[in-house]
């Protein structure tokens, strides 16, 4: 049986003045293989800053996922509800 009292919720959130800020620069470097965005600090050590290579997204071109198919266009029905697949919610 689930007991919600066994899980503790963080009761103290530090004030913003106590939080140390980290800045990694712009989030604009693209993986040359899968085009995922990265910070330059995430590049592989053996790659250059001018031509960075990243491993966290596609393992430098080794892993690729099939593209996500486009979602079908849902047409409004006469009752104002959408026709199409139901999410069951």
What are the tens digits of pLDDT across the range 10-56?
566 777 777 788 888 899 999 988 889 999 999 999 999 999 988 88
Q: Mean pLDDT across the stretch 71-85?
A: 64
**pTM for the whole structure:** 0.49
CA distances for 44 relative to 35, 39, 59, angstroms: 15, 11, 10
Contact predicate 41/24, CB 8 Å: yes
Outline where DSSP puts E strands in 9-71: 29-30, 37-38
Nearest to 29 by CA among 15, 14, 48, 16: 48
**Alpha-carbon 14 to chain mean position:** 26
Structure tokens at 58: 């596609």
Q: How many residues does the chain have?
A: 89
């Amino acid at each position: 049986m689930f007991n919600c009292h066994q899980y503790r919720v963080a009761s103290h959130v530090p004030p913003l003045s106590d939080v140390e800020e980290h800045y990694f620069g712009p989030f604009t470097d693209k993986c040359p293989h899968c085009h995922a965005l990265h910070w330059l600090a995430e590049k592989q050590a053996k790659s250059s800053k001018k031509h960075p290579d990243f491993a966290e997204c596609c393992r430098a071109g080794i892993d690729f996922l099939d593209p996500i198919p486009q979602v079908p266009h849902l047409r409004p029905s006469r009752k104002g509800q959408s026709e199409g697949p139901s999410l069951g919610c």
